[in-house]
Structure 1
């Protein structure tokens, strides 16, 4: 939660809270913590009740609609049938990315850093870089 705040910003927030709430700040903090505990307890009770009603074990992250449908309503065959049309597209995309990666590695090995101007070769011109046609990948 406080990953994006530095110490000055946290100090400024604490000072602002002290100015706004004054002597009531400890009571406000305890009320806030009590509210967070109550919300957690309510979420736990709701998942427990839902698990009991459905007859299956449900975690809080399972309440996301997609995860809920995938875990509790679809069979493995249904999920495989849904994924099957997209699997070919995924495989083709992965193969294209792998081939582009290999071509880039070939280009990188073709360019010799010692042959650049001003290096030990006495200012010789660099080796020509092979051009990669991206029309084939589309």
Structure 2
């Protein structure tokens, strides 16, 4: 299963051509996530047009969601919008159990961050999988 990430801040010169290429890749089983959602100016335009399967909530919102009411509301709004569009939700930058608990209450689907593991080389990742799965 291959998922490609498209950052929200990219400027696509030929949007129609990009969409056509993405659709071809989707037919081959490749999925797409919009990364850093909420940090750029073109979010909703791209979200409306691009055939994405998931939204990644930027870590800048996740980091303070348990202490800053504004960030908490932004995260809630992104999760609600993604759910209404049938998109998977991935939260970036989860470092504390309180953040995970908050996101889980919102029915966030997937999480990334140091709470689970720091970035690892291949051998370290394989060891982590053996430890946690087997």
Which interval holds the TM-score relative to the shorter structure? under 0.3
Larger fraction in helix:
1
Q: Higher Cα Rg: structure 1 or 2?
A: 1
Larger fraction in strand:
2
Does 1 or 2 have the higher relative contact order (CA < 8 Å, sep 6+)?
2
